[in-house]
Structure 1
Amino acid sequence: MYAAIDGFLRYLKIERNASELTLKSYSEDFGSLLDYFRDRVGDIVDPAEVQIPQLRGYVAYLHECDYARTTIARRLASLRSFFRYCQREGLASSNPAKVLRTPRVGRKLPHFLTTEQITKLLEAPPANQDEGLRDRAILETLYSAGLRVAELVGLNVDHWDQDANIIRVFGKGKKERIAPIGRFAAQALYRWLEVRKEAPGAGPKDQGALFLNRFGTRLTTRSIGRMLEKYLMLTGLDKLTTPHTLRHSFATHLLDGGADLRSVQELLGHKSLTTTQIYTHVSTKRLKDTYENAHPHAAKNHRPGRGERPPAEK
């Protein structure tokens, strides 16, 4: 069983280009399952020995422990993927996780900032310090291109085509996409590159990194989070704001400005349009404005006829 799990994790890393964070999540999921087997069922030495009732007991155990539905759903997805791999490799004859019911998970509406709040945040980094120029470039790039924070820290200087003002982004599974950036982000990047100093003898991982820490090496996702927390305190903005909030704000403002859903899907690098549809809640105001401006019987355009009372003024 342990060898099968190790093989599956290697498969995810080498063939599926899974990120370290994804591999860590899968490892935790399998650790939870193996702990359950050891404590409640007994050691399972072979994936072919795992049966549906045992997995149903595991799901019941997760519910008893009050795990969030999202966590349970993720662990079930991990098990399905694992046993599908085992079937392909001849380690199991069936996928016992396939019949398990995934708990219904309500999708949270994404937290986003208004355009006024975004402006306040982007103007917070001091322009008279190298670190401030870097932070401004980071925030502008996150918002302008709608990047995931892992995509941002993976950027190299040569990923930015300065003539075309586009950046080459490597998303989940190392899938490449092209993201345009606006003039404010481009200006911030130009100013940052004027003061950017790479560490002497930087290793292969850090060479050419677009965003560097004070030691001249590549920034980490956690460093971006800490940096953002500093400016949230400075501006008094919602503390629930994360680097991903700028990606949510990017999609929200595009849709609210009239962009079509397919275009936003491409810009975000979403595989499925369903994932992008979570942002359509923000276009309610725009749809209402369009309706009131276009429909002949909308309150804004309707002219009462003879003997007809006009709608009461609010």
Structure 2
Amino acid sequence: MPDIHSLDLFAAYQRGKNLADNTIRNRHSILTTLRATTGKTLFEVTTLDLRLFVGRQGLKAGSRRTCRQALVAYFRFALEEGFRDDDPAARLASVQVPKGEPRPFSPEQVDAMLLSGAYRKTRAMILLGYYQGFRVSSIAPVHGRDIDLLAHRIRTVGKGGKIRSLPLHPVIAELAETMPKDDYWFPARKGQTGHIKPAAVTNLITKAKKRAGITDPELTPHSLRHAFGTDLVEADVDIRVVQELMMHESLSTTQIYTRVSERRQREGIRALQPREIPQHSGRHASPQGSAA
């Protein structure tokens, strides 16, 4: 069997495990890039090839880790299915990724993007990112049937393909009244079926950011989700509630948002009550009751 066909079987294997479509697409892209970079088939690459691929210049730590995860998953599959007699990814070193700091848009920047001349659907994407904390992969497939206006809930698929039902923000409830009730909010273009790709959401929000005059390269469409988490913490929402709203598996992931509140830091430092501070050391004061 040609190695390229094994990717189709690998995709089916991952869907069987209920992995997210975005994860499956990303892994496919990584593996096809590996083939093009090495000039070898997936059945021929060596551990050295994989180390050079993961360690190539220009990748951030998070991307290296994602790359390694894709390789480990595929080559374990290839070994189990008999496509290879060995697992060249078994000895790949783990990738250490430092804990990141949130990069949130400020409320003023969110307003600027909404007022930047962005079209109605782009504005809807921005609102879903900020008021529901959705990733672009969750924004792209929003469907009218995901919204329950009576229960005030919105259904989405989180990481790992888990279906979640979350509270619906009033702003999004109002938005839903103007969006399709029985169709995708952001249908695919150019005669294609289904919804638009997450990359298209990224491109549209990025254009709104540029039109708003926001030049910080660290701010991306994902920064709307960071703003969601940051502003919830700033509003004194319990951290466990923030965890559930952001669909984080681990509380430690949510806790990075507690480190960015300048207001909380100011309040914390002011919790130490001031005390009277002597103006002089008192060392040269005459002892009380000393003889004349």
Q: Same fold (TM over 0.5)?
A: yes
The runs of 5 or more residues in structure 1 that have no matched partner are 199-206, 310-314
Aligned to 1:243, what secondary structure does the other structure show? coil
Which residue is 2:284 aligned to? Answer: none
Q: CA deviation at 1:307?
A: 5.8
- The alpha-carbon distance between structure 1 residues 185 and 87, as it changes in their structure 2 partners (threshold 3 A), is same
Q: CA deviation at 1:249?
A: 0.8
- The alpha-carbon distance between structure 1 residues 104 and 236, as it changes in their structure 2 partners (threshold 3 A), is same
The 5-angstrom pairing of residues 76-95 of structure 1 reads: 76-86=68-78, 88-89=80-81, 95=87
Larger radius of gyration, structure 1 or 2? 2
For residues 181-225 of structure 1, the C-alpha deviation after alignment (integer angstroms, 9 at most, x for no partner) is: 3323333333x24xx5x9xxxxxxxx5223458999844434433
Which residue is 1:162 aligned to? Answer: 149
User: Are 1:171 and 2:158 counterparts?
Assistant: yes
Q: Is the contact between residue 125 and residue 135 of structure 1 (CA under 8 Å) also seen in structure 2?
A: no
* Length-normalised TM-score, structure 1: 0.70
Q: Is the contact between residue 140 and residue 186 of structure 2 (CA under 8 Å) also seen in structure 1?
A: yes
Which residue is 1:25 aligned to? Answer: 26
Cα distance in 2 between the residues matched to 1:155 and 1:258: 29
Q: CA deviation at 1:35?
A: 5.3
For residues 48-103 of structure 1, the C-alpha deviation after alignment (integer angstroms, 9 at most, x for no partner) is: xx7xxx3035314654x424253443332222222333455466677552332134
Aligned to 1:167, what secondary structure does the other structure show? strand
For residues 148-187 of structure 1, the C-alpha deviation after alignment (integer angstroms, 9 at most, x for no partner) is: 1221221111211112322111223331112223323333
Q: Is the contact between residue 139 and residue 201 of structure 2 (CA under 8 Å) also seen in structure 1?
A: no
Which residue is 1:8 aligned to? Answer: 10
CA RMSD of aligned residues (A): 3.6
Which residue is 1:288 aligned to? Answer: 265
* AA at the equivalent of 1:186: A
Cα distance in 1 between the residues matched to 2:32 and 2:189: 37
Which residue is 2:290 aligned to? Answer: none
How many equivalent pairs are there? Answer: 275
Which residue is 2:228 aligned to? Answer: 250
- The alpha-carbon distance between structure 1 residues 17 and 244, as it changes in their structure 2 partners (threshold 3 A), is same
* AA at the equivalent of 1:189: A
The runs of 5 or more residues in structure 2 that have no matched partner are 282-292
Q: CA deviation at 1:143?
A: 0.9
Which residue is 1:225 aligned to? Answer: 202
- The alpha-carbon distance between structure 1 residues 242 and 189, as it changes in their structure 2 partners (threshold 3 A), is farther
Which residue is 1:120 aligned to? Answer: 112
Q: CA deviation at 1:248?
A: 1.2
Which residue is 2:185 aligned to? Answer: 210
- The alpha-carbon distance between structure 1 residues 220 and 308, as it changes in their structure 2 partners (threshold 3 A), is farther
Q: CA deviation at 1:244?
A: 1.7
Q: Is the contact between residue 136 and residue 188 of structure 1 (CA under 8 Å) also seen in structure 2?
A: no
Which region of structure 1 is more displaced relative to structure 2, 145-154 or 271-280?
Answer: 271-280
